[in-house]
Structure 1
Protein backbone atom coordinates (compact mmCIF):
# COMPACT_ATOMS: atom_id res chain seq x y z
CA UNK A 1 0.00 0.00 0.00
CA UNK A 2 1.33 3.43 -0.85
CA UNK A 3 2.08 5.76 1.90
CA UNK A 4 -0.27 8.68 2.39
CA UNK A 5 1.87 11.83 2.17
CA UNK A 6 -0.58 13.86 4.19
CA UNK A 7 -0.51 11.51 7.15
CA UNK A 8 1.40 12.67 10.30
CA UNK A 9 2.91 10.43 12.90
CA UNK A 10 0.98 10.18 16.17
CA UNK A 11 2.13 12.86 18.73
CA UNK A 12 2.23 12.43 22.50
CA UNK A 13 -0.55 14.24 24.45
CA UNK A 14 0.41 17.72 25.73
CA UNK A 15 0.46 18.11 29.58
CA UNK A 16 -1.14 21.50 30.27
CA UNK A 17 -0.05 21.38 33.90
CA UNK A 18 3.66 21.25 33.16
CA UNK A 19 5.58 24.44 34.02
CA UNK A 20 6.42 26.79 31.23
CA UNK A 21 10.18 26.91 30.94
CA UNK A 22 9.97 30.38 29.44
CA UNK A 23 8.69 31.81 32.78
CA UNK A 24 11.02 32.85 35.58
CA UNK A 25 11.17 30.39 38.48
CA UNK A 26 9.66 32.83 40.99
CA UNK A 27 6.74 34.08 38.92
CA UNK A 28 4.41 31.40 40.21
CA UNK A 29 4.61 33.00 43.74
CA UNK A 30 3.68 36.52 42.57
CA UNK A 31 0.24 36.55 44.26
CA UNK A 32 1.91 36.16 47.71
CA UNK A 33 4.23 39.19 47.40
CA UNK A 34 1.74 41.90 48.50
CA UNK A 35 1.08 40.00 51.72
CA UNK A 36 4.80 39.69 52.41
CA UNK A 37 5.35 43.38 51.74
CA UNK A 38 2.51 44.26 54.10
CA UNK A 39 3.96 42.15 56.89
CA UNK A 40 7.39 43.65 56.30
CA UNK A 41 5.97 47.20 56.51
CA UNK A 42 4.29 46.62 59.87
CA UNK A 43 7.36 44.87 61.26
CA UNK A 44 9.62 47.74 60.21
CA UNK A 45 7.16 50.28 61.61
CA UNK A 46 7.07 48.46 64.96
CA UNK A 47 10.88 48.44 65.13
CA UNK A 48 11.03 52.17 64.37
CA UNK A 49 8.42 53.01 67.01
CA UNK A 50 10.12 50.90 69.68
CA UNK A 51 13.54 52.37 68.84
CA UNK A 52 12.18 55.92 68.92
CA UNK A 53 10.46 55.30 72.26
CA UNK A 54 13.62 53.79 73.75
CA UNK A 55 15.70 56.73 72.51
CA UNK A 56 13.20 59.21 73.95
CA UNK A 57 13.24 57.48 77.34
CA UNK A 58 17.03 57.51 77.40
CA UNK A 59 17.11 61.20 76.45
CA UNK A 60 14.59 62.05 79.15
CA UNK A 61 16.43 60.07 81.79
CA UNK A 62 19.92 61.36 81.10
CA UNK A 63 20.05 64.26 78.64
CA UNK A 64 17.04 66.56 78.26
CA UNK A 65 13.42 66.74 79.38
CA UNK A 66 10.38 68.83 78.50
CA UNK A 67 8.57 70.64 81.32
CA UNK A 68 5.36 72.65 81.27
CA UNK A 69 5.05 75.92 83.21
CA UNK A 70 1.88 75.72 85.34
CA UNK A 71 1.88 79.14 87.03
CA UNK A 72 2.93 82.76 86.68
CA UNK A 73 5.72 82.70 89.28
CA UNK A 74 8.40 83.20 86.59
CA UNK A 75 6.64 85.87 84.50
CA UNK A 76 7.64 87.40 82.20
CA UNK A 77 10.61 85.14 81.62
CA UNK A 78 8.34 82.08 81.49
CA UNK A 79 4.57 82.24 81.02
CA UNK A 80 1.91 79.72 82.05
CA UNK A 81 1.60 77.08 79.35
CA UNK A 82 5.18 77.51 78.08
CA UNK A 83 7.08 74.33 77.29
CA UNK A 84 10.75 74.45 78.20
CA UNK A 85 13.68 72.16 77.50
CA UNK A 86 15.72 71.33 80.58
CA UNK A 87 19.29 70.08 80.24
CA UNK A 88 20.11 67.27 82.66
CA UNK A 89 23.79 67.00 81.76
CA UNK A 90 24.96 70.62 81.92
CA UNK A 91 25.88 70.29 85.59
CA UNK A 92 28.07 67.31 84.80
CA UNK A 93 30.38 69.81 83.14
CA UNK A 94 30.00 72.93 85.31
CA UNK A 95 28.61 73.95 88.67
CA UNK A 96 25.23 75.59 89.19
CA UNK A 97 25.63 79.34 88.65
CA UNK A 98 23.85 82.42 89.91
CA UNK A 99 21.21 83.46 87.41
CA UNK A 100 20.49 79.93 86.16
CA UNK A 101 16.81 79.08 85.81
CA UNK A 102 16.54 75.59 87.27
CA UNK A 103 13.90 72.93 87.67
CA UNK A 104 14.13 71.11 90.99
CA UNK A 105 12.17 68.61 92.99
CA UNK A 106 10.63 69.87 96.21
CA UNK A 107 9.82 66.34 97.41
CA UNK A 108 11.38 65.80 100.80
CA UNK A 109 12.53 69.43 101.18
CA UNK A 110 9.75 71.88 100.37
CA UNK A 111 7.07 69.20 100.05
CA UNK A 112 6.43 65.81 101.65
CA UNK A 113 8.21 62.93 99.95
CA UNK A 114 6.05 61.31 97.28
CA UNK A 115 5.93 57.79 95.90
CA UNK A 116 5.23 56.84 92.27
CA UNK A 117 1.83 55.24 91.57
CA UNK A 118 1.68 51.55 92.48
CA UNK A 119 -0.40 50.84 89.36
CA UNK A 120 2.04 50.06 86.50
CA UNK A 121 -0.40 51.47 83.94
CA UNK A 122 -0.52 54.80 85.78
CA UNK A 123 3.28 54.85 86.06
CA UNK A 124 3.57 54.23 82.33
CA UNK A 125 1.09 57.03 81.62
CA UNK A 126 2.97 59.44 83.90
CA UNK A 127 6.24 58.63 82.14
CA UNK A 128 4.68 59.04 78.70
CA UNK A 129 3.07 62.36 79.68
CA UNK A 130 6.35 63.58 81.11
CA UNK A 131 8.11 62.94 77.81
CA UNK A 132 6.26 65.82 76.17
CA UNK A 133 5.73 68.01 79.22
CA UNK A 134 1.99 67.49 79.69
CA UNK A 135 2.12 65.86 83.10
CA UNK A 136 -0.01 67.36 85.84
CA UNK A 137 1.75 69.73 88.27
CA UNK A 138 3.54 67.79 90.97
CA UNK A 139 6.43 68.66 93.25
CA UNK A 140 8.72 70.09 90.57
CA UNK A 141 9.43 73.83 90.73
CA UNK A 142 11.13 76.27 88.38
CA UNK A 143 13.00 79.22 89.91
CA UNK A 144 16.05 81.39 89.37
CA UNK A 145 19.21 80.79 91.39
CA UNK A 146 20.13 83.96 93.30
CA UNK A 147 22.67 82.58 95.76
CA UNK A 148 25.04 79.60 95.60
CA UNK A 149 26.81 77.94 98.56
CA UNK A 150 28.67 80.50 100.69
CA UNK A 151 26.85 83.53 99.26
CA UNK A 152 25.51 86.19 101.63
CA UNK A 153 22.12 87.20 100.19
CA UNK A 154 20.35 90.24 101.66
CA UNK A 155 17.22 92.24 100.95
CA UNK A 156 17.52 95.04 100.67
CA UNK A 157 20.04 97.87 100.48
CA UNK A 158 19.12 101.57 100.78
CA UNK A 159 18.08 101.63 97.10
CA UNK A 160 15.80 98.62 97.58
CA UNK A 161 18.09 96.23 95.71
CA UNK A 162 18.95 92.64 96.60
CA UNK A 163 22.65 92.24 97.28
CA UNK A 164 24.81 89.14 96.95
CA UNK A 165 28.06 89.30 98.89
CA UNK A 166 27.51 93.04 99.18
CA UNK A 167 27.16 93.50 95.40
CA UNK A 168 23.75 94.94 94.33
CA UNK A 169 21.86 93.15 91.57
CA UNK A 170 20.29 95.07 88.69
CA UNK A 171 17.21 92.94 88.06
CA UNK A 172 15.04 95.05 85.79
CA UNK A 173 15.89 92.91 82.74
CA UNK A 174 14.19 89.79 84.07
CA UNK A 175 11.84 90.41 86.99
CA UNK A 176 8.20 91.27 86.34
CA UNK A 177 7.94 94.79 84.86
CA UNK A 178 7.84 97.57 87.45
CA UNK A 179 7.98 95.06 90.31
CA UNK A 180 10.13 95.65 93.38
CA UNK A 181 12.92 93.12 93.99
CA UNK A 182 11.17 91.78 97.09
CA UNK A 183 8.31 92.60 99.40
CA UNK A 184 9.94 90.54 102.16
CA UNK A 185 13.27 91.23 103.81
CA UNK A 186 15.83 88.50 104.47
CA UNK A 187 19.45 88.07 105.39
CA UNK A 188 21.02 84.65 104.87
CA UNK A 189 24.33 82.98 104.17
CA UNK A 190 23.63 80.04 101.88
CA UNK A 191 24.77 76.77 103.54
CA UNK A 192 27.14 74.36 101.77
CA UNK A 193 25.45 72.21 99.14
CA UNK A 194 22.36 74.42 98.97
CA UNK A 195 20.88 77.22 96.83
CA UNK A 196 18.77 80.35 97.42
CA UNK A 197 16.12 80.53 94.68
CA UNK A 198 13.46 83.09 93.75
CA UNK A 199 10.80 83.50 91.09
CA UNK A 200 11.03 86.37 88.61
CA UNK A 201 7.48 87.44 89.46
CA UNK A 202 8.40 88.44 92.99
CA UNK A 203 4.83 89.34 94.01
CA UNK A 204 3.48 85.93 92.99
CA UNK A 205 6.20 83.39 93.75
CA UNK A 206 6.38 80.87 96.57
CA UNK A 207 10.16 80.66 96.89
CA UNK A 208 13.03 80.67 99.38
CA UNK A 209 11.82 83.91 100.99
CA UNK A 210 8.68 82.23 102.29
CA UNK A 211 10.30 78.94 103.35
CA UNK A 212 12.75 80.22 105.94
CA UNK A 213 11.11 78.08 108.64
CA UNK A 214 11.90 74.96 106.60
CA UNK A 215 15.16 72.97 106.86
CA UNK A 216 17.96 74.97 105.29
CA UNK A 217 16.10 78.23 106.02
CA UNK A 218 14.36 78.16 102.64
CA UNK A 219 17.32 77.01 100.58
CA UNK A 220 17.10 73.90 98.42
CA UNK A 221 19.66 71.09 98.16
CA UNK A 222 21.77 71.11 95.00
CA UNK A 223 21.03 67.38 94.71
CA UNK A 224 17.34 68.20 94.14
CA UNK A 225 18.08 70.11 90.93
CA UNK A 226 16.80 68.24 87.85
CA UNK A 227 18.54 70.51 85.36
CA UNK A 228 18.80 73.95 83.79
CA UNK A 229 16.06 75.46 81.61
CA UNK A 230 17.79 76.68 78.48
CA UNK A 231 15.13 77.22 75.80
CA UNK A 232 11.38 77.84 75.43
CA UNK A 233 10.11 75.54 72.66
CA UNK A 234 6.34 76.14 72.79
CA UNK A 235 4.39 78.06 71.73
CA UNK A 236 6.44 78.71 68.61
CA UNK A 237 5.81 82.44 68.91
CA UNK A 238 7.84 82.41 72.15
CA UNK A 239 10.73 80.28 70.93
CA UNK A 240 13.81 81.73 72.69
CA UNK A 241 16.74 80.83 74.90
CA UNK A 242 16.88 81.42 78.66
CA UNK A 243 20.23 83.16 79.25
CA UNK A 244 21.95 84.19 82.46
CA UNK A 245 21.33 87.94 83.01
CA UNK A 246 24.35 90.23 82.77
CA UNK A 247 24.05 91.37 86.40
CA UNK A 248 25.15 87.90 87.58
CA UNK A 249 28.37 88.23 85.56
CA UNK A 250 29.76 91.02 87.73
CA UNK A 251 33.34 90.26 88.67
CA UNK A 252 32.71 91.48 92.19
CA UNK A 253 30.29 88.66 92.89
CA UNK A 254 32.91 85.97 92.43
CA UNK A 255 35.61 87.84 94.30
CA UNK A 256 33.29 88.60 97.20
CA UNK A 257 32.04 85.02 97.18
CA UNK A 258 35.56 83.70 97.69
CA UNK A 259 35.95 85.90 100.76
CA UNK A 260 32.50 85.03 102.08
CA UNK A 261 33.13 81.31 101.61
CA UNK A 262 36.47 81.34 103.44
CA UNK A 263 35.95 79.07 106.49
CA UNK A 264 36.55 80.64 109.91
CA UNK A 265 39.08 77.91 110.68
CA UNK A 266 41.39 79.45 108.06
CA UNK A 267 41.52 82.71 110.00
CA UNK A 268 41.87 80.89 113.26
CA UNK A 269 44.58 78.74 111.82
CA UNK A 270 46.41 81.80 110.53
CA UNK A 271 46.18 83.43 113.95
CA UNK A 272 47.49 80.29 115.60
CA UNK A 273 50.44 80.10 113.23
CA UNK A 274 51.26 83.78 113.79
CA UNK A 275 51.02 83.28 117.54
CA UNK A 276 53.30 80.25 117.46
CA UNK A 277 55.88 82.16 115.43
CA UNK A 278 55.74 85.09 117.87
CA UNK A 279 56.28 82.79 120.86
CA UNK A 280 59.19 81.09 119.12
CA UNK A 281 60.88 84.43 118.49
CA UNK A 282 60.40 85.45 122.10
CA UNK A 283 61.93 82.23 123.33
CA UNK A 284 64.90 82.67 121.06
CA UNK A 285 65.38 86.22 122.36
CA UNK A 286 65.20 84.98 125.93
CA UNK A 287 67.92 82.46 125.14
Structure 2
Protein backbone atom coordinates (compact mmCIF):
# COMPACT_ATOMS: atom_id res chain seq x y z
CA UNK A 1 0.00 0.00 0.00
CA UNK A 2 1.26 3.49 -0.90
CA UNK A 3 0.42 6.82 0.70
CA UNK A 4 -0.73 9.99 -1.05
CA UNK A 5 0.09 13.44 0.25
CA UNK A 6 -3.03 15.56 0.73
CA UNK A 7 -3.10 18.94 -1.01
CA UNK A 8 -0.30 18.21 -3.48
CA UNK A 9 -2.38 19.19 -6.53
CA UNK A 10 -3.72 22.30 -4.82
CA UNK A 11 -0.18 23.29 -3.90
CA UNK A 12 0.89 23.04 -7.53
CA UNK A 13 -2.03 25.22 -8.64
CA UNK A 14 -1.21 27.73 -5.89
CA UNK A 15 2.36 28.06 -7.18
CA UNK A 16 1.15 28.47 -10.78
CA UNK A 17 -1.42 31.13 -9.86
CA UNK A 18 0.97 33.07 -7.63
CA UNK A 19 3.66 33.10 -10.31
CA UNK A 20 1.23 34.09 -13.07
CA UNK A 21 -0.43 36.72 -10.91
CA UNK A 22 2.91 38.23 -9.94
CA UNK A 23 3.96 38.48 -13.57
CA UNK A 24 0.65 40.14 -14.53
CA UNK A 25 0.90 42.70 -11.72
CA UNK A 26 4.51 43.57 -12.55
CA UNK A 27 3.86 43.58 -16.29
CA UNK A 28 0.71 45.72 -15.99
CA UNK A 29 2.46 48.23 -13.74
CA UNK A 30 5.47 48.42 -16.06
CA UNK A 31 3.24 48.85 -19.12
CA UNK A 32 1.36 51.67 -17.42
CA UNK A 33 4.61 53.37 -16.43
CA UNK A 34 6.05 53.10 -19.96
CA UNK A 35 2.88 54.58 -21.50
CA UNK A 36 3.39 57.76 -19.42
CA UNK A 37 6.64 59.67 -20.17
CA UNK A 38 8.78 60.32 -17.11
CA UNK A 39 8.46 64.11 -17.38
CA UNK A 40 4.64 63.99 -17.26
CA UNK A 41 2.37 63.28 -14.26
CA UNK A 42 0.40 60.03 -14.17
CA UNK A 43 -2.96 60.62 -15.85
CA UNK A 44 -6.18 59.58 -14.13
CA UNK A 45 -8.67 58.37 -16.74
CA UNK A 46 -12.38 58.05 -16.08
CA UNK A 47 -15.42 57.03 -18.09
CA UNK A 48 -18.37 59.42 -17.81
CA UNK A 49 -21.99 58.57 -18.55
CA UNK A 50 -23.64 61.31 -20.63
CA UNK A 51 -27.02 62.16 -19.11
CA UNK A 52 -27.92 65.32 -21.03
CA UNK A 53 -28.18 66.53 -24.62
CA UNK A 54 -26.06 69.69 -24.55
CA UNK A 55 -23.26 68.07 -26.59
CA UNK A 56 -25.31 66.45 -29.34
CA UNK A 57 -24.37 65.27 -31.93
CA UNK A 58 -20.83 64.78 -30.62
CA UNK A 59 -22.11 62.88 -27.57
CA UNK A 60 -25.59 61.43 -27.30
CA UNK A 61 -27.43 60.65 -24.08
CA UNK A 62 -26.11 57.32 -22.74
CA UNK A 63 -22.65 57.59 -24.34
CA UNK A 64 -19.68 56.82 -22.07
CA UNK A 65 -16.63 58.74 -23.34
CA UNK A 66 -13.27 58.76 -21.56
CA UNK A 67 -11.79 61.81 -19.83
CA UNK A 68 -8.35 62.62 -18.48
CA UNK A 69 -9.03 64.05 -15.04
CA UNK A 70 -7.28 66.61 -12.84
CA UNK A 71 -7.84 68.30 -9.49
CA UNK A 72 -7.83 71.81 -11.01
CA UNK A 73 -7.61 73.57 -14.35
CA UNK A 74 -3.82 73.90 -14.28
CA UNK A 75 -3.57 70.10 -14.19
CA UNK A 76 -5.69 69.69 -17.35
CA UNK A 77 -4.18 71.08 -20.53
CA UNK A 78 -6.97 72.21 -22.87
CA UNK A 79 -7.10 73.98 -26.21
CA UNK A 80 -9.78 75.72 -28.24
CA UNK A 81 -12.26 73.15 -29.48
CA UNK A 82 -11.65 70.67 -26.66
CA UNK A 83 -14.61 69.12 -24.85
CA UNK A 84 -14.23 69.48 -21.09
CA UNK A 85 -15.95 68.68 -17.81
CA UNK A 86 -16.34 71.80 -15.70
CA UNK A 87 -17.64 72.51 -12.22
CA UNK A 88 -19.74 75.68 -12.14
CA UNK A 89 -21.95 75.56 -9.04
CA UNK A 90 -23.47 78.95 -9.93
CA UNK A 91 -24.91 77.40 -13.09
CA UNK A 92 -25.60 73.81 -12.02
CA UNK A 93 -25.09 72.91 -8.33
CA UNK A 94 -23.62 69.51 -7.39
CA UNK A 95 -22.89 68.35 -10.93
CA UNK A 96 -20.36 68.65 -13.76
CA UNK A 97 -21.13 70.25 -17.09
CA UNK A 98 -19.94 68.88 -20.42
CA UNK A 99 -19.11 71.77 -22.77
CA UNK A 100 -16.69 72.83 -25.50
CA UNK A 101 -13.93 75.44 -25.08
CA UNK A 102 -14.55 78.16 -27.68
CA UNK A 103 -12.30 81.01 -26.50
CA UNK A 104 -9.46 81.71 -24.04
CA UNK A 105 -8.33 84.76 -22.08
CA UNK A 106 -7.60 87.64 -24.46
CA UNK A 107 -9.85 86.26 -27.23
CA UNK A 108 -12.84 88.19 -28.54
CA UNK A 109 -15.75 85.88 -29.29
CA UNK A 110 -18.93 87.27 -30.84
CA UNK A 111 -22.12 86.37 -32.63
CA UNK A 112 -24.00 88.83 -34.81
CA UNK A 113 -27.68 88.16 -35.32
CA UNK A 114 -28.34 86.61 -38.71
CA UNK A 115 -24.78 85.40 -39.38
CA UNK A 116 -24.09 81.69 -39.92
CA UNK A 117 -20.92 81.51 -37.80
CA UNK A 118 -19.42 82.89 -34.62
CA UNK A 119 -16.47 85.24 -34.95
CA UNK A 120 -13.23 84.59 -33.07
CA UNK A 121 -10.90 87.60 -33.02
CA UNK A 122 -12.79 89.01 -35.99
CA UNK A 123 -12.58 85.86 -38.14
CA UNK A 124 -15.42 83.40 -38.91
CA UNK A 125 -15.13 80.32 -36.67
CA UNK A 126 -15.59 76.98 -38.42
CA UNK A 127 -17.55 74.64 -36.12
CA UNK A 128 -18.41 71.38 -37.94
CA UNK A 129 -19.48 69.79 -34.64
CA UNK A 130 -22.51 72.07 -34.03
CA UNK A 131 -25.91 70.32 -34.24
CA UNK A 132 -27.61 73.12 -36.20
CA UNK A 133 -24.93 75.05 -38.05
CA UNK A 134 -27.46 77.59 -39.31
CA UNK A 135 -27.98 78.79 -35.72
CA UNK A 136 -24.55 79.01 -34.03
CA UNK A 137 -26.09 80.77 -30.98
CA UNK A 138 -29.62 81.42 -29.69
CA UNK A 139 -28.59 84.97 -28.65
CA UNK A 140 -26.17 87.60 -29.98
CA UNK A 141 -23.11 88.48 -27.88
CA UNK A 142 -19.74 90.19 -27.98
CA UNK A 143 -17.35 89.09 -25.24
CA UNK A 144 -13.66 89.73 -24.68
CA UNK A 145 -12.56 86.86 -22.43
CA UNK A 146 -10.60 87.94 -19.31
CA UNK A 147 -7.21 86.35 -18.65
CA UNK A 148 -7.25 82.88 -17.05
CA UNK A 149 -10.87 82.38 -18.07
CA UNK A 150 -12.63 80.48 -20.87
CA UNK A 151 -15.86 80.84 -22.87
CA UNK A 152 -17.82 77.59 -23.14
CA UNK A 153 -20.61 76.46 -25.45
CA UNK A 154 -22.48 73.21 -26.01
CA UNK A 155 -22.69 71.68 -29.48
CA UNK A 156 -26.48 71.65 -29.16
CA UNK A 157 -26.65 75.43 -28.97
CA UNK A 158 -30.42 75.64 -28.48
CA UNK A 159 -30.39 73.28 -25.50
CA UNK A 160 -27.27 73.98 -23.45
CA UNK A 161 -26.60 75.65 -20.09
CA UNK A 162 -23.44 77.38 -21.30
CA UNK A 163 -21.74 80.78 -21.39
CA UNK A 164 -24.33 82.23 -23.79
CA UNK A 165 -26.98 81.77 -21.08
CA UNK A 166 -24.99 83.79 -18.53
CA UNK A 167 -23.91 86.85 -20.50
CA UNK A 168 -25.41 89.21 -17.89
CA UNK A 169 -23.20 87.78 -15.12
CA UNK A 170 -20.27 89.86 -13.85
CA UNK A 171 -17.81 87.88 -16.03
CA UNK A 172 -20.12 87.71 -19.10
CA UNK A 173 -20.52 83.96 -18.89
CA UNK A 174 -16.81 83.16 -18.79
CA UNK A 175 -15.46 80.52 -16.39
CA UNK A 176 -12.13 80.41 -14.56
CA UNK A 177 -9.67 77.77 -15.77
CA UNK A 178 -9.66 76.19 -12.32
CA UNK A 179 -13.24 75.02 -12.96
CA UNK A 180 -12.00 72.46 -15.51
CA UNK A 181 -12.07 68.93 -14.09
CA UNK A 182 -11.38 66.78 -17.15
CA UNK A 183 -10.75 66.73 -20.89
CA UNK A 184 -12.31 64.36 -23.40
CA UNK A 185 -9.75 61.94 -24.84
CA UNK A 186 -9.76 58.91 -27.19
CA UNK A 187 -10.19 55.51 -25.56
CA UNK A 188 -6.94 55.00 -23.55
CA UNK A 189 -6.17 51.44 -24.70
CA UNK A 190 -2.78 51.21 -22.94
CA UNK A 191 -4.30 52.35 -19.65
CA UNK A 192 -7.18 49.85 -19.92
CA UNK A 193 -4.92 46.91 -20.82
CA UNK A 194 -2.38 47.74 -18.12
CA UNK A 195 -5.07 48.18 -15.49
CA UNK A 196 -6.83 44.97 -16.52
CA UNK A 197 -3.59 43.00 -16.34
CA UNK A 198 -2.76 44.37 -12.90
CA UNK A 199 -6.26 43.65 -11.54
CA UNK A 200 -6.28 40.12 -13.02
CA UNK A 201 -2.84 39.47 -11.57
CA UNK A 202 -3.92 40.63 -8.12
CA UNK A 203 -6.98 38.37 -8.29
CA UNK A 204 -4.81 35.41 -9.32
CA UNK A 205 -2.47 36.09 -6.38
CA UNK A 206 -5.40 36.14 -3.95
CA UNK A 207 -6.77 32.83 -5.28
CA UNK A 208 -3.29 31.30 -5.38
CA UNK A 209 -2.60 32.39 -1.82
CA UNK A 210 -5.87 30.86 -0.66
CA UNK A 211 -5.08 27.57 -2.40
CA UNK A 212 -1.60 27.62 -0.90
CA UNK A 213 -2.94 27.98 2.64
CA UNK A 214 -5.46 25.20 1.98
CA UNK A 215 -2.75 22.94 0.57
CA UNK A 216 -0.48 23.51 3.60
CA UNK A 217 -3.35 22.75 5.95
CA UNK A 218 -4.08 19.47 4.16
CA UNK A 219 -0.38 18.47 4.06
CA UNK A 220 -0.13 18.79 7.83
CA UNK A 221 -2.75 16.10 8.22
CA UNK A 222 -1.83 12.45 8.27
CA UNK A 223 -1.36 11.10 4.72
CA UNK A 224 -4.23 8.90 3.59
CA UNK A 225 -3.45 5.40 2.31
CA UNK A 226 -4.05 4.61 -1.32
CA UNK A 227 -5.39 1.09 -1.90
CA UNK A 228 -4.10 -0.85 -4.90
CA UNK A 229 -6.33 -1.17 -7.92
CA UNK A 230 -6.44 -5.01 -7.50
CA UNK A 231 -6.67 -7.32 -4.44
CA UNK A 232 -3.38 -8.17 -2.77
CA UNK A 233 -2.29 -11.82 -3.25
What TM bracket, shorter-length normalisation?
Answer: 0.5 to 0.7
Residue 62 of structure 1: CA displacement?
Answer: 3.7
Which position in structure 2 is the counterpart of 1:130? none
Q: Distance in 2 between matches of 1:158 and 1:213?
A: 21
1:30 paired to 2:8: no
| Pairing of 1:109-120 with structure 2 (within 5 A) | 109-112=90-93, 114=94
1:97 paired to 2:97: no
Q: Distance in 2 between matches of 1:208 and 1:48?
A: 50
Unaligned runs of 5+ in 1: 1-15, 17-26, 115-138, 234-287
Q: Distance in 2 between matches of 1:217 and 1:210?
A: 9
Deviations 1:239-265 (A, max 9, x none): xxxxxxxxxxxxxxxxxxxxxxxxxxx
Give secondary structure in 2 for the equivalent of 1:68: coil
Which position in structure 1 is the counterpart of 2:212? none
Instruction: Determine if contact 2:99/2:154 at 8 Å carries over to the other structure.
Output: yes
Residue 149 of structure 1: CA displacement?
Answer: 0.6
Higher helix share: 1
Instruction: Determine if contact 2:106/2:144 at 8 Å carries over to the other structure.
Output: yes
1:148 paired to 2:104: yes
Residue 80 of structure 1: CA displacement?
Answer: 0.9
What is the RMSD computed on CA atoms of the aligned residues? 3.8
1:221 to 154, 160, 176: 176
| Pairing of 1:43-192 with structure 2 (within 5 A) | 62-88=43-69, 95-107=77-89, 109-112=90-93, 114=94, 139-156=95-112, 159-171=115-127, 173-177=128-132, 179-192=134-147
Q: Distance in 2 between matches of 1:36 and 1:95?
A: 51
Residue 28 of structure 1: CA displacement?
Answer: 5.4
Residue 32 of structure 1: CA displacement?
Answer: 2.4
Which position in structure 1 is the counterpart of 2:164? 209
Deviations 1:23-81 (A, max 9, x none): xxxx95622224445666887899899998xxx9xx9x843211111111111111111
Which position in structure 1 is the counterpart of 2:216? none
CA shift in 2, pair 1:34/1:231, >3 Å = same
Higher relative contact order (CA 8 A, sep 6+): 2
Q: Which of structure 1's runs of 4+ aligned residues deviate more than 4 A?
A: 37-52, 91-95
Instruction: Determine if contact 2:85/2:180 at 8 Å carries over to the other structure.
Output: yes
